[in-house]
Chain A
Amino acid sequence: DAGVTQSPTHLIKTRGQHVTLRCSPISGHKSVSWYQQVLGQGPQFIFQYYEKEERGRGNFPDRFSARQFPNYSSELNVNALLLGDSALYLCASSLATGLEKLFFGSGTQLSVL
């Protein structure tokens, strides 16, 4: 079975641009979460979606938004990119809303110049 897949794997943008990152959860998983990992730090929670509804949001500005589609895949959008948005963006999926088994993808490395 395929794991959590994310695209693209790498992305370079310039300040002020907009970016869309995509995630496909493990088959059968209905919950998707997004995390930001800045170099040298642990991942920071951005969003969790379950059955297309936002269940939780981390301490990120409104420039960050996400949605979940009927097939449970998800997009993370970031507007007006800043240099500080450069990070590895990780998507994770789980069967339902519980956190006992959260499976992560390999991430999208975003560089903002």
Chain B
Amino acid sequence: GEDVEQSLFLSVREGDSSVINCTYTDSSSTYLYWYKQEPGAGLQLLTYIFSNMDMKQDQRLTVLLNKKDKHLSLRIADTQTGDSAIYFCAESFNDYKLSFGAGTTVTVRA
């Protein structure tokens, strides 16, 4: 199966941490990804994690992977107004395509 599921909306106060969650179905996925999409723009690769890793940290971003539960999360520390966007979780499938979730709309309020 290729279903990737995410919660649709997240509202967070500026300066707080955001946590976006995702579940995926293909246990053979090699990589799992987080992409960001701002209004009227394409997708920006934020970070990705290899499937044999549990955690990856990149500046304000922390990715956690629980392979047993097929659960992926993205934590954004010190969330800023510029972090308001749609965040997509994706898994690699068959080595040539990405399967995306429907996206989580993150709204940062002052």
Query: Which residues from chain A sit less than 8 Å from chain B, CB to CB?
Result: 4, 33, 35, 40-45, 48, 55-56, 58, 90, 92, 97-107
Which residues of B have CB within 8 Å of A48? Answer: 96-97
| Contact among A99, A103, A107 for B92, CB-based, below 8 A | A99
* B45 adjacent to A45 (CB under 8 Å): no
Which residues of B have CB within 8 Å of A105? Answer: 42
Chain B interface residue count, Cβ-Cβ cutoff 8 angstroms: 24
How far is the CB of B86 from the nearest CB of chain A, in Å?
Answer: 9
Contact A58-B43, Cβ < 8 Å, known A42-B102, A99-B92, A100-B31: no
| Contact among B41, B94, B96, B100 for A42, CB-based, below 8 A | B100
* B98 adjacent to A104 (CB under 8 Å): no
Known A42-B90, A43-B88, A45-B99; further 8 A-B contacts with Cβ < 8 A: A42-B88, A42-B102, A43-B100, A44-B100, A45-B97, A100-B31, A104-B44, A106-B41
Query: Which residues from chain B sit less than 8 Å from chain A, CB to CB?
Result: 4, 30-31, 35, 40-45, 48, 88, 90, 92, 94-103
Q: Which 9 A-B pairs have the closest CB atoms?
A: A42-B100, A56-B96, A45-B97, A104-B42, A104-B43, A106-B42, A48-B96, A99-B92, A55-B96
Which residues of A have CB within 8 Å of B35? Answer: 104
Which residues of A have CB within 8 Å of B48? Answer: 100-101
Which residues of B have CB within 8 Å of A90? Answer: 42-43
The B interface is mostly helix, strand or loop, or mixed, namely strand
With CB as the reference atom, state the residue of chain B lying closest to A91. B42
* B88 adjacent to A56 (CB under 8 Å): no
With CB as the reference atom, state the residue of chain A lying closest to B43. A104
Which residues of B have CB within 8 Å of A56? Answer: 94, 96-97
* A101 adjacent to B45 (CB under 8 Å): yes
Cβ contacts A to B, 23 pairs, < 8 Å:
A4-B42, A35-B98, A41-B103, A42-B101, A43-B43, A43-B100, A44-B100, A45-B99, A48-B97, A56-B94, A56-B96, A56-B97, A97-B95, A99-B30, A99-B92, A99-B95, A99-B98, A103-B45, A104-B42, A104-B43, A104-B45, A106-B40, A106-B42
